[in-house]
Amino acid sequence: MADYHISCMPVEAAHYLNLRPGGTYVDGTVGGAGHSRMICTRIQPGGLLVGIDQDLDAIRHAQDVLAPFFPRVSLHHDTFSHLDRIIGNLGLAGVDGILLDLGLSLHQLEGSGRGFSFKREEPLDMRMNTKATITAADIVNSWDVDDLIRIFREYGEEHRARSIAKAIVKARARKPLESSKALADLIYRSMPPAAARKQKIHPATRVFQALRITVNRELDRLQRTLPMAVACLNPGGRLCVLSFHSLEDRIVKQTFREMARTCTCPPRAPVCTCGGEAQVTLLTRKVVRPTAEEIAANPMARSTRLRAVEKR
């Protein structure tokens, strides 16, 4: 794996994580290890970084990149939705900060050979964890048309979900769709040529996003992990999430708001009966976006959105 370490919003992530020497921090999405390395440099002496990624390539790469910081680094090939178990197995009662930098790493997109990019002729796989059972090819070649329409709409916000799903079902009856390029070309051809040329993004972008989210159960895992991550924090500990599209950001925003509410009674209830206490304080009332300078230096950062909370 090449040394990919262009991290998004590293300055803001460091600020909201409140990194300090001697603290224990989790990078739940190690990827190219850029954020992990930044965290390690700021928490010494005495700090510990717990690094998690469901992609074995990322963990192997991090073993090299973070070697100077061993033994103050503990790396785990796992999903961040097992964070509570990982922390428990390390004998830690809680941690001081958790970072989740969602989405794909540059390595996965450009160098993994797993069909994440519609620009390449690669097997239609899209698994971040290659030990997982279901691939994008399994979905496009075996799911019925209604399920394809549902995921393209729900996870891709694709307006042409129905016609694309029908084109897939028709094409696969002749020959299974096995490469990312074959799928991207089919989606392109399923559009009227004038409309395809007018698109600002490649017509396959939304379908690829939907397939990737489905294969890796991204939204479901994020939804389950956020409250559990807060539970793993020490009082005053921080959770900082970087997301890349509105579906992820909506989950983060709503979950954080919910956890910051003092009262969970229905809005029309005349008096509070729940006695609820806020679990977190919102550190970012509005979403934080990268600076113009960062976007100029790293155009891939342009859609990053950062939100953070502090445990009460």
Ligand X SMILES: C[S@@+](CC[C@H](N)C(=O)[O-])C[C@H]1O[C@@H](n2cnc3c(N)ncnc32)[C@H](O)[C@@H]1O
Kindly report the number of other CB atoms within 10 A of residue 171's CB atom: 18
Kindly report the number of other CB atoms within 10 A of residue 67's CB atom: 9
Full 3-state SS string of 125-188: CCCCCCCCCCCHHHHHHHCCHHHHHHHHHHHHCCCCHHHHHHHHHHHHHHCCCCEHHHHHHHHH
Residue 80 or 203: the one with the smaller Cβ distance to ligand X is 80
The piece of 25-33, 112-120, 152-160, 199-207 that touches ligand X (CB under 6 A) is 25-33
Q: Are 224 and 81 in contact (CB under 8 A)?
A: yes
Residue 12 found at the interface with ligand X (CB under 6 A): no
Q: Please, what is the minimum distance in Å from the beta carbon of residue 11 to ligand X?
A: 13
Which 120-179 residues touch ligand X, going by CB under 6 A? 128
Residue 15 found at the interface with ligand X (CB under 6 A): no
Which 229-248 residues touch ligand X, going by CB under 6 A? none
Long-range own/partner contacts, residues 244-250 (CB < 8 A, 24 or more apart): 244/102, 244/103, 244/303, 244/304, 244/305, 245/103, 245/209, 245/303, 246/157, 247/155, 247/157, 247/213, 247/219, 248/102, 248/103, 248/218, 248/219, 248/222, 249/287, 249/305, 249/307
Q: Please, what is the minimum distance in Å from the beta carbon of residue 215 to ligand X?
A: 11
Residue 6 or 274: the one with the smaller Cβ distance to ligand X is 6
Q: Are 171 and 221 in contact (CB under 8 A)?
A: no
- How far the first Cα of the chain sits from its last, in Å, is 40
Residue 2 or 287: the one with the smaller Cβ distance to ligand X is 2
The piece of 24-32, 119-127, 160-168, 266-274 that touches ligand X (CB under 6 A) is 24-32
Residue 75 or 207: the one with the smaller Cβ distance to ligand X is 75
| Positive/negative CA dihedral, 117, 118, 122, 126 | positive
For ligand X, which residue of 35, 127, 160, 212 counts as binding (CB under 6 A)?
35
Which 93-122 residues touch ligand X, going by CB under 6 A? 101, 103-105
Residue window 62-91: x/- pattern of binding to ligand X, with contact defined by CB under 6 A: -----------------xxx----------
Residue 3 or 144: the one with the smaller Cβ distance to ligand X is 3
Q: Are 96 and 68 in contact (CB under 8 A)?
A: no
Residue 53 or 249: the one with the smaller Cβ distance to ligand X is 53
Which 209-228 residues touch ligand X, going by CB under 6 A? 221
Residue 304 found at the interface with ligand X (CB under 6 A): no
Residue 307 found at the interface with ligand X (CB under 6 A): no
Q: Which residues bind ligand X (CB under 6 A)?
A: 5, 7, 28-29, 31-35, 52-55, 58, 79-81, 101, 103-105, 128, 221
